[in-house]
Amino acid sequence: MIKAIFFDIDGTLLSHQSKTVPPSAKSAICQLKDKGIKLFTATGRHMNEIRKLPAGSLPFDGYVTLNGQICLDADRTILHDTPISAEDTVRMSSIFAKKEIPILMIESDRMYINFINPAVRAAQKAISTPLPAIGTYTGNKVYQFIVFGEEKPVHDLTRQLSCCKMSQWNPHAFDIIPQKGGKIAGIRHILEHFGIQPQETMAFGDGDNDMEMLRHAGIGVAMGNANDKVKRHADYVTSHIDQDGIMRALEYYGIL
């Protein structure tokens, strides 16, 4: 029996064609809630971003944010957090200060970038999000870096960090998080908190940072708009987000 479902946001719940959550997905969320199934986000987004998105008003029981680095309950109280190591944060803050490559620094309560170039503009436009504010690192804990540019320079940069890994969410943008982090790490903390077993879960996603989550869920569903690499990690491939993908998968498995 499925007791909890985890949803990626961009490209899974939030369509960047219509700039909204498809009506069928909203209906599915309400029906699942009525059945007593726990509902969670599992996203690379910061809570400050989620609040401003159409998906932010949905009745979630908790949030796995920043690719698992900060987990919150329905009241948005932090249940678990995993910051980047102090050593890697110092190294990245030095690179950040040089302004040779755009780097977005993400703390528990703020996000800021060193400078903006066309790669930043293209990536932010693709996820219907305003350009980040330009800021300065002041010594706080950092939970995620987003680096904008080509894959090789970002890969080379990541190799300079002792305890981090990267994943790509846009041709121009890459998340860098702790080596032991990831959505599945955050999901484990949520499941422990709510007393739910992994085999009692379902997960929906479409991006590279969803692959581990799809593999480890009781049922992993890739959206039809996901790339082939992501689809290979899923138990089931549903239709496109704008073709009622979430509802169709839930109906296929007899959950709705």
Cα distance between residue 33 and residue 170, in whole Å: 32
Cα distance between residue 163 and residue 64, in whole Å: 21
Cβ neighbours around 134 below 10 Å, total: 11
Tens digits of pLDDT across the chain (256 residues): 999 999 999 999 999 888 899 999 999 999 999 999 999 999 999 999 999 999 989 999 999 999 999 999 999 999 999 999 999 999 999 999 999 999 999 999 999 999 999 999 999 999 889 999 999 999 999 999 999 999 999 999 999 999 999 988 889 999 999 988 889 999 999 999 999 999 999 999 999 999 999 999 999 999 999 999 999 999 999 999 999 999 999 999 999 9
Listed by start position, the domains of the chain span 4-81+181-252, 86-178
Angle between the 23-34 and 245-252 helix axes, to the nearest 10 degrees?
40
Residue 23 has phi, psi (to 5 degrees) of -55, -40
> In which order are the strands placed within the sheet that holds 201-205?
78-81, 70-73, 62-65, 38-42, 4-7, 201-205, 219-222, 236-237
Are the C-beta atoms of 198 and 232 separated by less than 8 Å? no
pLDDT at 164: 94
pTM for this model (two decimals): 0.92
Which residue is listed with tokens 């400050």? 48
For the domain made up of 86-178, the CATH class stated in words is alpha beta
Give the 3-state secondary structure of residue 201.
strand
Q: Which of 41, 40, 36 is nearest to 1 (CA)?
A: 36
Q: Calculate ∠ Cα 152-100-132, nearest 5°.
A: 95
Fold of 4-81+181-252: Rossmann fold (3.40.50)
Per DSSP, the residues of 111-176 read EEES---HHHHHHHHHTT-PPPPB----S----EEEEES-HHHHHHHHHT-SSEEEEEEETTEEEE
